[in-house]
Amino acid sequence: MSVDISIDVGARLGVVPAAAMPAISAILDGLRRQWRERLITTWFPVNVTGRSLQGWQNRIVGLNWILRNPVEYAQFVHYSGSKRELWRILERDAHALLQAVMPEMKAIVRSFRGVAPQPSQPAPSGLFASLLFRARSALNESTGRDRRARDLRQRQRPRRR
């Protein structure tokens, strides 16, 4: 049997205004990435074929976080000498990650309640959205600098014929 875990974030947040969805989605996407890192560190030491590790699907659909592994033996994978299945550890990790950001997501939802974005103006952004924008800008700036340097080096090399 496969492992199917679905976490209904919307049930925990209540009604989420449409204007708040980009900020909430950005947080959920970050959770998805963090969980993937935990998956690799948790699952990797197990001596298996790798098929069960690669089988994991980790996606956000609306306000549902879906964790699934269709590999038939995935539910039985455990550390040697232990009877505790690894998927249970990963499920607990997902809930812990979500619990850690719930106050921030609830604050974003509260900040957007009763705020209708004007059609001609962009929706107001929350604290997380501005922090995310600054982090992405810094990342783009550093990778942009590295890419420009690499492109410059490539232009300076003589072409081989």
Contact 70, 2 (CB under 8 A): yes
Average pLDDT over residues 132-137: 60
Residue 35, judged by CB atoms within 10 A of its CB (0-12, 13-18, 19+), counts as: buried
Average pLDDT over residues 124-134: 58
Task: Say if residue 145's pLDDT is above 60.
Answer: no
**Is 0.75 topped by the overall pTM?**
no
pLDDT > 70 in the chain, percent: 60
Q: How confident is the model at residue 137 (pLDDT cuts 50, 70, 90)?
A: low
Residue of 78 and 39 predicted with greater confidence: 39
Ranked by mean pLDDT, which of 53-62, 79-88, 100-109 comes out on top?
Answer: 100-109
Average pLDDT score over the chain: 76
Residue-wise pLDDT for 5-59, tens only, equals 899 999 999 999 999 999 999 999 999 999 888 888 876 655 555 666 677 888 9
Could you tell me the CA-to-CA distances from 103 to 110, 117, 131 in Å, in that order? Answer: 10, 23, 16
Return d(Cα 96, Cα 70) in angstroms, integer. 23
Lowest-pLDDT range of 11-25, 60-74, 103-117, 119-133: 119-133
